[in-house]
C-alpha cells in the first residue's frame, strides 16, 4: 500500500476516532441512538472557522466548538427527558434545525477556506517541515494522535469516577440507576452533551485538517461513527483489558482503511456514501451473526 494512502488513512481515521469516542458514549454507554451527530459535526467546524477568521486563537476556537456541540446534545437530551420524545425523533429534530443554523452561521456559504490562517495543522511546528508533504503528514498524525490519546485517557479516568459509574448505570439499567439515587434525566442529558461536544470538536479538527469548512461534511458521520464502535467492540469483545474507548479508536482506523482501500481500487468518489452504507450494512450483518453465535453457544452450555 502506498505511503500516502497509509498517511491519509491515519489522519482521517484519527479524526473519525474522536467522533467514534463521542458516539461510544451515546450508543454504547447510554444506549441512545443519537442522530444529532450529522449536524453537530459541521456545527463545530463552522464555529471554529468563524472564530479563527476573526482572529481568535485556534485553541480557543476548538474549546468554543466543543461547547457548541454540548449545547446541541443538551437540546436533544432536553427534548427526550422533559417532553418524552423518543431518542430517534429528538435527534432528528435537533439535526434538522441545525442544518439551517449551520448555514446561518456560515452566512449561506457551503464551503469556506481557512486560507493562511494559523490552525492546528498550519502553525510554527508544521512549518518546520517546509514543503515536504510526507513530513507534514507525519506531523499531522503526531498532533492527532496526542489529541486522541488525551481524550481517551480523560474519558477512561472519568468513567472511574462516581459520575462515570452513574452514567453507565443509567445506560445499562435506568431503573437501577434511579434506585442508586441518580437523576437519570440529568445523566442522559449530561452524556449527550459530552458526546456531541466531542463530535463538534472532531468537526472543528477535521475542518482544520482539510483546511476548509464544508457544510455537507457531517452527512453520513453517524454511520462512520457507529460502524467504528461496532467494529472495535466486536473485535475486542473477549479481550477484557482493552477498554471500549480503545476499541472505538481502532474501529475508526479499520473502517477508514476499508473506505480508502475501496476508493483506491477505482470506485468513483460520487459513490462514497453508497460504499459507506453498504459497508455498514455488511458490518451489521456480520455483527448480528457474531453475537447470535455467541448467544447460541452460551444457551447450549446451559443445557449441558
pLDDT tens figures, 71-105 = 999 999 999 999 999 999 999 999 999 999 999 99
In this structure, is residue 78 part of a structural domain?
yes
Q: In the prediction, which pLDDT does 304 show? A: 38
In this structure, is residue 99 part of a structural domain?
yes
pLDDT-derived band at 112, boundaries 50, 70, 90? very high
Q: In the prediction, which pLDDT does 242 show? A: 95
Q: In the prediction, which pLDDT does 101 show? A: 96
Are 207 and 112 in contact, with CB atoms under 8 Å apart? no
Instruction: Give the closest residue to 17 by CA, choosing from 286, 159, 198.
Output: 198
In this structure, is residue 280 part of a structural domain?
no
In this structure, is residue 38 part of a structural domain?
yes
Task: Tell me the residue range of the domain where 172 lies.
Answer: 3-216
In this structure, is residue 168 part of a structural domain?
yes
Q: In the prediction, which pLDDT does 178 show? A: 63
Q: In the prediction, which pLDDT does 253 show? A: 97
In this structure, is residue 300 part of a structural domain?
no
Lowest mean pLDDT among 1-5, 58-62, 66-70: 1-5
d(CA 274, CA 267): 11
Q: What predicted TM-score, i.e. pTM, was given to this entire model? A: 0.93
d(CA 114, CA 210): 9
Q: Into how many domains does the chain fold?
A: 1
Residue 303 has pLDDT above 50, yes or no: no
Average pLDDT of span 159-185: 82
In this structure, is residue 107 part of a structural domain?
yes
Residue 275 has pLDDT above 70, yes or no: yes
Question: 139 is written with which cell numbers?
Answer: 506531523
In this structure, is residue 295 part of a structural domain?
no
Which residues does 21 contact at the CB level (< 8 Å), separation at least 6? 148, 151, 152, 155, 198, 245, 248, 249
Q: What is the dihedral of CA 247, 251, 254, 255, to 10 degrees?
A: 180
pLDDT-derived band at 109, boundaries 50, 70, 90? very high
Q: In the prediction, which pLDDT does 117 show? A: 96
Percent of the chain with pLDDT over 90: 79
Amino acid at each position: 500500500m502506498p505511503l500516502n494512502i497509509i498517511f491519509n488513512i491515519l489522519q482521517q481515521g484519527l479524526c473519525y476516532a474522536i467522533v467514534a469516542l463521542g458516539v461510544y458514549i451515546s450508543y454504547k454507554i447510554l444506549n441512545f441512538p443519537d442522530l444529532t451527530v450529522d449536524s453537530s459535526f459541521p456545527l463545530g467546524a463552522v464555529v471554529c472557522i468563524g472564530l479563527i477568521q476573526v482572529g481568535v486563537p485556534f485553541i480557543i476556537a476548538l474549546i468554543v466548538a466543543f461547547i457548541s456541540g454540548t449545547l446541541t446534545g443538551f437540546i436533544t437530551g432536553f427534548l427526550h427527558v422533559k417532553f418524552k420524545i423518543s431518542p430517534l425523533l429528538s435527534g432528528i429534530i435537533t439535526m434538522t434545525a441545525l442544518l439551517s443554523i449551520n448555514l446561518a452561521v456560515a452566512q449561506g456559504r457551503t464551503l469556506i477556506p481557512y486560507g493562511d490562517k494559523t490552525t492546528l495543522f498550519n502553525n510554527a511546528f508544521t512549518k518546520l517541515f517546509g514543503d515536504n508533504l510526507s513530513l507534514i503528514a507525519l506531523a499531522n498524525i503526531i498532533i492527532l494522535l496526542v489529541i486522541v490519546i488525551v481524550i481517551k485517557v480523560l474519558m477512561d479516568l472519568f468513567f472511574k469516577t462516581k459520575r462515570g459509574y452513574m452514567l453507565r448505570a443509567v445506560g445499562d439499567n435506568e431503573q437501577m440507576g434511579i434506585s442508586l439515587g441518580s437523576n437519570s434525566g440529568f445523566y442522559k442529558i449530561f452524556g449527550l452533551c459530552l458526546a456531541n461536544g466531542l463530535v463538534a470538536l472532531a468537526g472543528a479538527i477535521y475542518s482544520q485538517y482539510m483546511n476548509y469548512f464544508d457544510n455537507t461534511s457531517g452527512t453520513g458521520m453517524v454511520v462512520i461513527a457507529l460502524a467504528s464502535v461496532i467494529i472495535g467492540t466486536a473485535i475486542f469483545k473477549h479481550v477484557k483489558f482493552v477498554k471500549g474507548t480503545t476499541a472505538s479508536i481502532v474501529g475508526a482506523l479499520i473502517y477508514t482503511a476499508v473506505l480508502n482501500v475501496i476508493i483506491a481500487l477505482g470506485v468513483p468518489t460520487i459513490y462514497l456514501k453508497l460504499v459507506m452504507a453498504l459497508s455498514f450494512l455488511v458490518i451489521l450483518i456480520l455483527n448480528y451473526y457474531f453475537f447470535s453465535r455467541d448467544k447460541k453457544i452460551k444457551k447450549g452450555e446451559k443445557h449441558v
